[in-house]
Amino acid sequence: MYYDNNTVIYFNGNFVKAAEAKTDLYGQSLHYGYAVFEGIKSYHTENGTKIFKPKEHYDRLRKSAETMHIPFNYTTEQLTELSYELLKINNFSNAYLRPLLICSPNMGLSKGQESYLAIEAWEWSNGYLANKMRIMTSSYERPNPKAFHVEAKVSGHYVNSILACQEAKDKGYDEALVLDSNGYVAESSGANVFYEKEGALYTPAKGSILPGITRATVFDICKELDIPVYEKFFTPNEMRGADAAFFCGTAAEVVALESLDDVAFTKDWDNSVSSLIQNAYRNLVVGKNLEEFKLQLR
C-alpha cells in the first residue's frame, strides 16, 4: 500500500490527504497517457534527510513537460522546497517521491491547456537490491524515437515497459532487456544498463533510451575513480557472457545482474568493478565521498 489515512501529498497548491485527493475521469492524462513524471529518492544521512539530485530531477520534469507541450509553472527551487516539506509532514526520511504532472479535462488531441502537479511520497527501504537479477532479451522494442520523445519521462511510454517487464516475469525472469529498433541494447523497463569487460564499462549510447540521472552519476563515479567507461551501440550477443553487468536507476540504484538469456556473467560480483560502482553509489546518495574507493583501486 502506498498510503494510509494519514498520508499527505502535495496537489496543485495544497498539502492534502492522499485518501481525499481527487482527479477527474475526463482528462487526457488518464485516457491517453499524456502526463509527465519523475522518480526521486531521499535518504537518511548524517546531516539529516537529503533528497538525491533534486535539481537534476526537477529540471528533467520541466524539460519533459516542455517537450510534451504541458504547461509547467514551478521553479526547481520551489519544487525542492515543497518536496522537503512533504517529507517532513509525513515524517519520511528514506523515501521515494513521485511528482506527476497531469492535464485538465479534455478529450481532444490538442495540447494540454492547464496542468495539475501532484507530489506523492512513500517510505522506501532498499529491499529491491537484495538479489542478482536474471534477465531476458525482450520480444518488445523500446518506443521508436521517431514516434516518441524517448528522452522525456512520459507516462504513456510506460505501457511499453509494462509489456516488456510482464513478458519477462511470465517467462520466469526478473526483468527484461529491451532493444532499440536496430536490434541494439537500449535499457530495461525502468533502468539503464551497463556491462563490464576487462575492467571497463560499456553502456548504450543515447538515442532510444531515457538517459538516466543514475547513469550520469555512474559516469561521474567512473571519472573520479579512473574507471574507463564507454557509450556505444552493442547487441545482446556482445553483452552475453561479459564479466559483469548491472541495471541502474533512481529506484533500483545499482543492481547486479546474474545472467542474460540464461548465460551467466562470469566474474565474481564482489571482485568486479561493477560492485565497486554499486558501493560507491550507495556512499554518494548518503552524502559520503569516494576516498575509500580510490584507496581500494590503488
- Tell me which residues touch ligand PMP (CB under 6 A): 39, 187, 190-192, 210, 212-215, 249-250
**Considering the complex, what minimum distance in angstroms separates the CB of residue 56 from ligand PMP?**
8
Amino acid identity at 167: E
Q: Three cell numbers at 121?
A: 511520497
The burial class, CB within 10 Å (0-12 / 13-18 / 19+), for 79 is buried
Smallest gap from Cβ 103 to ligand PMP, in A, equals 21
Question: How far is Cα 6 from Cα 53, in angstroms, rounded to an integer?
Answer: 27
Longest dimension (CA), the chain: 61
Shortest Cβ distance from residue 138 to ligand PMP (Å)? 12
Residue closer to ligand PMP by CB (options 50, 215) is 215
Q: Given CA atoms 224, 230, 236, 237 in this order, what sign does their dihedral have?
A: negative
Q: How far is the CB of 5 from ligand PMP (least distance, A)?
A: 29
Q: Compare residues 132 and 153 and give the one whose CB is closer to ligand PMP.
A: 153
Q: How many CA atoms lie within 13 A of 151 on its CB side?
A: 12
Backbone φ and ψ of 58, nearest 5°: -75, -30
CB 204, min distance to ligand PMP, A: 10
Closer Cβ to ligand PMP, 108 or 127, answer by number: 127
Partners of 263 in the β-ladder: 260
Neighbours of 39 (CB within 10 A): 16
Nearer to ligand PMP, 210 or 255 (CB): 210
